[in-house]
Structure 1
């Protein structure tokens, strides 16, 4: 069985195993992607924030503590939405259960739109980028992370068992659907090149202000061995974009 979009999180066994992995202090989400995300977003005081594919919405709790005036998490999974709602209970933040494909924003509703490791599950990224642009106020910022294209290019490395020390890059320019084994399930992701992400952003009306590939920082790792292993291949592609008009 293959899972698309957020549907895999409705499988209880997968969801439990995922949450155990996701909340580890040594998760790459926490020690590689998150510090860069916060750096790219910068000061959120007085800002209205939308989080596409918000997951557990822990980042929303942090941004509200940093004086963001509004936080809405958009999440397609019922299980994940319940976790997000619980985390946001006493913060004033909100969660809307909806897929990104079904989301229809109002114009100029947010100052910051962010998305973390969610956009590579979408077949139609062009429409979502256009909606993000519409939802932002002039001068607004769009910051997102996706699994790096050298990893989504082929599932050969993901199909191997054990702790990987090297990775296979293949079929890089053959963009499209990949069925990747992940935590005991087959999950559909969409491979795009770095060039394609860039071109789709330009077509939607954005300018790209910054691009990062998740360069590991030694101070965030508990062991030298893990730090050096993470230096071998990029796990994440991140872009910071701006709506100028």
Structure 2
């Protein structure tokens, strides 16, 4: 399944590079809330975990992060991000399903935009992110809202972790539905405390582009953002 997902995102890389900056669900829904949650990054060492085509990587650079790293498991996404930021960030081919190459306690902040619902073993991935994050460092990530996946895919059992298939630009993609209980337990078990949970609503610009989905998103959540902090012992 991981190989299939990699093939899918290599195919989608051109689409992401072309459209992700202005795509309504990204630009006018997830991103404003995510950026507000991230807040000040000046002088921080930051990792963009699942960088895609590099929007957040560039944003981190432009907002004065001390040092920026970006990782993705798609060679094409890594290539697009490198082209976008040139030598202003270290962009690496890394897989969040595997042990990461970074030292323990290296980062002040890790962000991950709409990526962690793709990982095979959330506990393993969060353990790795915890390992490379400094005590009191923050992990801020957005994922599919569990209520959305439960309703949209008409799941029989909300509490069952299940692999789902969707289609983006005629390309199949695969991701996991996980309950709030699963997510919160994985965070707690890997030394993360939840500071805030954010259920974003679209900004008005979304309505100008897509009024139908604007109304839907003001009634039903699609994404959710977790702002967490690594416990210091």
Shift in CA distance, 176/101, structure 1 to aligned 2, threshold 3 Å: same
1:107-151, Cα deviation, whole Å (9 max, x unpaired): 110000010111111111101101111111121000000111223
Gaps of 5+ in 2: none
Deviations 1:19-42 (A, max 9, x none): 44424x242111111111111111
Q: How large is the Cα RMSD of the aligned pairs?
A: 2.3
1:152 match: 149
Residue 224 of structure 1 deviates from its aligned partner by 8.0
Contact conserved, 2:16 with 2:52, CA < 8 A, in 1?
no
How is 1:1-245 mapped onto 2 (pairs within 5 angstroms)? Answer: 4-11=4-11, 14-23=12-21, 25-90=22-87, 92-104=88-100, 105-153=102-150, 156=153, 168=154, 170-218=156-204, 221-222=207-208, 225-226=211-212, 227-245=214-232
Deviation of 1:174 (Å): 2.3
Tell me what 1:161 maps to. Answer: none
| Closer/same/farther in 2, CA of residues 121 and 154 from structure 1, 3 Å limit | farther
> Residues 78, 175 of structure 1: CA spacing in aligned structure 2 closer, same or farther, 3 A cutoff?
same
Q: What is the CA deviation profile of residues 24-66 of structure 1, one whole-angstrom value per residue up to 9, with x for unaligned ones? A: x242111111111111111101000001111112212121111
Measured at CA, do residues 122 and 58 of structure 1 come closer, stay the same or move farther in structure 2, by a change above 3 Å? same
Normalized against structure 1, the TM-score is what? 0.85
* Number of corresponding residues: 230
